[in-house]
Amino acid sequence: ASLNDLRGRWTGTYGPMGQPAALIIKTHNGKALEGVLEQGAVRVAFMGTIKSGSIRMKQSAVLSGDGWSLGEDTGTVSNDGKSMSGTGKDLFGGSLGMTYQWSFRR
């Protein structure tokens, strides 16, 4: 596990309700990340960047499931590359100034 290779399955909580979720990072090349966020029946594609421990993920498409508002998340990855956490906002909540927390480990 290192900051140079974040690929794999991460588990944790995501969103306003702090519900269980999984983050699957499929590719990590340099500063670029790509993968899927899964929560219940919902699967959402995201693209992201990482720079000196700071991570930013922008959701690009809902692959399956209903009632999901695409969001953008920012946070930090631990130095040992085993955990990450931060805040996010979606199109709906962001317009109301609402943010949510997220946290994942591997």
The predicted pLDDT at position 4 comes to: 85
Residues across the chain? 106
What number is the average pLDDT over the span 46-68? Answer: 96
pTM for the full predicted model: 0.93
65 or 96: which leads in pLDDT: 65
Q: Which two tokens stand for residue 24?
A: 């699957």
Closest of 97, 81, 6 to residue 46, by C-alpha = 6
Q: Could you report the per-residue pLDDT of 1-48, keeping only the tens digit for each? A: 677 899 999 999 999 889 999 999 999 999 999 999 999 999 999 999
The predicted pLDDT at position 1 comes to: 60
